[in-house]
């Protein structure tokens, strides 16, 4: 499966066993992207929301 | 024996990947729940379904995890970490109180609720000091207060923010090299520890802020 970086349009390989919410890093521009299903059920890559106020570990 | 556990997440980071892989290695069934896709009945507490007996809570979002964990625990699900642990450890004030009660040495800190009393607390602690949101991570808004002028400016700023940021937790500044040590403890054993060095233009050592380890 292939996805596209929303920022630099690089083609990015999405592993077949990837899960919704999985983080991939664009090999070209380094942007962190999240694997998400869109409304039609298609897998796409979305830019991660900037760090939220309650994020942490 | 039915060896199935669950994991609630909002992002699959390398850590969640490792958990998924090690569950597979141990032939443990691991069901994944995307926090953004579930809604929980708050009255029908008799049954655990669709949740498992044991769930790993892995949400990056603290408020999300707290509320979700509490709702699942009331249905009898064992959530790791528990809501009691998560509410204490996710809150610097509650953590400090636990540490103080257990007589575990920790930097001195005071609590205040107005700019004026915060400045009083500061004259008691002495400068430089550190202001921290009671809930927060990755060094967000952890601010050094060098002297009374900068303290006033930063506190005034906080007065215009969400009320959580007007709970003033002020800590003595520890004189340290441009690094600190983060230890990971399981039970009574330190299982890993790292030196964290602050980046060039930040005093904080958090890796989330560009620190190196
Ligand atoms: N009292 C202090 N004296 C000196 N440096 C401090 C002090 N408090 C915090 N720091 C620096 O600021 C960083 C962030 O502080 P702290 O760990 O309290 O914040 P946090 O948001 O909970 O971070 P994390 O998500 O890593 O737990 C620390 O790693 C350390 O480098
Ligand atoms: Mg912390
Ligand atoms: Zn890119």
Range of the domain at A31: 2-47
**φ, ψ dihedrals at B120, nearest 5°:** -60, -45
Non-local CB neighbours of B45 within 8 Å, separated by 6+ positions: B74, B75, B76
pLDDT tens readout for residues B65-121: 999 999 999 999 999 999 999 999 999 999 999 999 999 999 999 999 999 999 999
**Alpha-carbon gap: B23 to the closest alpha carbon of chain A (Å):** 15
Q: Write down the pLDDT at residue B6.
A: 98
The mean pLDDT of B123-144, rounded to a whole number, is 97
Find chain B residues with C-beta within 8 A of A55's C-beta: 60-62, 137-138
Are the CB atoms for B184 and B190 separated by under 8 Å? Answer: yes
Token pair of B98 as six digits? 């636990």
pLDDT tens readout for residues A9-53: 889 999 888 888 899 999 888 888 999 888 888 888 998 877 889
In a domain, residue A36? The reply is yes
Residue A8 pLDDT grade (very low, low, confident, very high; cuts 50, 70, 90): confident
The total number of structural domains that make up chain A: 1
Q: How many CB pairs under 8 A join A and B?
A: 50
Q: Which domains does chain B have, with CATH numbers?
A: 4-89 (3.40.50.20), 92-172 (3.30.1490.20), 179-209 (no CATH)
Token pair of B5 as six digits? 């556990």
In a domain, residue A56? The reply is no
- Search chain B and give the residue with CA nearest A55: B61
ipTM, 2 dp: 0.80
Of A29, A35, A38, which Cα lies nearest the Cα of A48?
A: A35
Taking the mean position of all CA atoms in its chain, how far away is CA B153? 26
List the single residue in B11, B140, B208 with the smallest CB-CB distance to A34.
B11
Q: Which atom of ligand 1 is nearest to the CA of B176?
A: 4
The mean pLDDT of B119-133, rounded to a whole number, is 98
**pLDDT above 70 (res B1):** no
Q: Write down the pLDDT at residue A50.
A: 78
> Across the interface, do B137 and A56 touch by the CB < 8 Å criterion?
yes
In a domain, residue A53? The reply is no
List the single residue in B60, B63, B136 with the smallest CB-CB distance to A57.
B60
Report the distance separating Cα B143 and Cα B133, nearest Å.
9
Please choose from B105, B204, B209, B210 the residue to mutate so as to test ligand 1's pocket, defined by most ligand atoms within 8 A of CB.
B204
The mean pLDDT of B52-76, rounded to a whole number, is 97
Report the distance separating Cα B22 and Cα B177, nearest Å.
37
Give the domain CATH number at A17: 2.20.28
């Amino acid at each position: 499966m292939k996805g596209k970086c929303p920022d630099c349009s690089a083609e990015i390989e999405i592993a077949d066993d990837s899960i919704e919410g999985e983080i991939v890093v664009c090999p070209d521009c380094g942007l962190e992207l999240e694997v998400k299903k869109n409304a039609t059920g298609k897998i796409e890559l979305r830019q991660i929301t900037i760090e939220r106020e309650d994020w942490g570990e | 024996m039915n060896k199935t556990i669950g994991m609630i997440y909002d992002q699959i980071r390398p850590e969640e990947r490792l958990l998924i892989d090690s569950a597979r290695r141990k032939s443990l069934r691991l069901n994944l729940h995307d926090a953004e896709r579930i809604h929980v009945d708050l009255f029908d507490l008799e049954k655990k379904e669709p949740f498992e007996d044991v769930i790993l809570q892995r949400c990056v979002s603290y408020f999300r995890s707290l509320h979700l964990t509490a709702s699942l625990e009331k249905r009898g699900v064992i959530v790791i970490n528990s809501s009691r642990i998560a509410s204490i450890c996710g809150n610097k004030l509650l953590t400090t109180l636990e540490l103080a009660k257990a007589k575990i040495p920790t930097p001195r800190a005071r609590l205040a609720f107005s700019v004026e009393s915060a400045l009083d607390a500061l004259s008691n602690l002495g400068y430089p000091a550190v202001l921290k949101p009671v809930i927060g991570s990755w060094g967000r808004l952890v601010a050094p207060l060098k002297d009374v002028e900068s303290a006033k400016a930063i506190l005034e700023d906080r007065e215009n923010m969400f009320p959580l940021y007007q709970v003033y937790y002020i800590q003595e500044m520890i004189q340290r090299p441009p690094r600190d040590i983060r230890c990971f403890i399981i039970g009574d054993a330190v299982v890993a520890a790292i030196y964290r060095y602050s980046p060039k233009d930040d005093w904080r050592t958090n890796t989330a802020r560009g620190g190196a380890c």
